[in-house]
Amino acid sequence: MTDRVEKILQGDVTTAAKLISEIDNGVPTAFEALRDLYPHTGHAYIIDLTGPPGAGKSMLADGIIQNFREKGKQVGVIAIDPTSPFTGGAILGDRVRMQRHGTDSGVFIRSLATRGHFGGLTQSTNAVLWIMEAMGKDIVIIETVGVGQDEVDIGRTAHTTIIVMVPGMDDEIQLMKAGIVEIGDIFVVNKADREGTEQTILDLQTMIKMGRKFKPGNSWVPLILQTVAISGTGVLELAQGVYQHMNFLQMENHIEKHNRERLKYEFLNIAKSCITHFIMEELKQGEGFDNILDQMIYGKIDPYSMVEKVFTRNHLCQVGTVWDVIRPSKPESVKEGQG
């Protein structure tokens, strides 16, 4: 075990922050440290705070951190900010709103940029989770990028997903109901002192009721809470709601199942990244990407056949055709002859 691994296990923030930077920048030696840290992971309870920009996620996070600290919990925070598609930069400003915990040795706050990664998370999020767990954090809060229909990766990572909304989001709720809202365990209507709160709550209640018809096996009924983060109103109830969901998962033995699914998803994600990198390197050294594009542009070969050709040449596609691999599959709930 290296010296820096031992320091991280002792909770050294400086060493952990440096390792996170190395992981985010793809430094090869950083992954050697991750291998040593991994046996010390898997015990933290993971909470996601997601919602549109300006909904008050950071202020709510600040409030529930205080509640967890009063109960003696060690807390880690991963604040994810979007990367500009034009400059490649990110503001990373969410941690500014949590500065009152900056000098608390029991709280470690780290900002990450998405760097073009979709799904609400970053490529390095899970590795950062490992580090925070190895540091002894009991709870890790992930504040993710503003939500959309397809940003549901966090649902596979967090134990409790909190979706923050504000009054007057009727149209946004309709747009999101086919995606992100389906993974919500707790819905928070923040800025509840504004006009339109009652209608937003009614819309959420209707949406949840409709959603439960398609998930009859899920006995958890999502909570709908009201908060005014700037004054602290409702923050205690939100923390209590998290504990309520945590107890539900423990009683139903869902935490172990969730952790298993999380590792499955993480393994497959890493495998996909490795295969993509391998193929891109092969294309650079082989006939060249430009030549491949020329063949497709001039109609000499279609993209499916070209992928199959490249994969077969590298022994990555041995069963059937590429279409057999990538074609959409029916959800398990759809029976043959239906839908």
Q: In DSSP terms, which residues pair with 45 in a beta bridge?
A: 139
Mean pLDDT of the chain: 79
- Quickly state the pLDDT bin for 102 (edges 50, 70, 90): low
Domains of the chain and any CATH numbers: 40-252 (3.40.50.300), 260-326 (no CATH)
Contact 48, 242 (CB under 8 A): no
Q: Residues 270-288: what's their mean pLDDT? A: 76
What's residue 240's pLDDT? 97
pLDDT in tens, 217-250: 568 889 999 999 999 999 999 999 999 999 999 9
Q: Which of 128-137, 242-251, 303-312 has the lowest mean pLDDT?
A: 303-312
User: Among 14-28, 52-66, 315-329, which is the least confidently predicted range?
Assistant: 315-329
DSSP secondary structure string, 217-242? T-----EEEE-BTTTTBTHHHHHHHH
What value does the mean pLDDT take over residues 117-144?
Answer: 82
Q: Output the pLDDT for position 204.
A: 86
Q: What is the rounded average pLDDT of the residues 314-334?
A: 53
Answer with the residue of higher pLDDT: 50 or 81. Answer: 50
CA separation for the pair 15, 109 (Å, rounded): 14
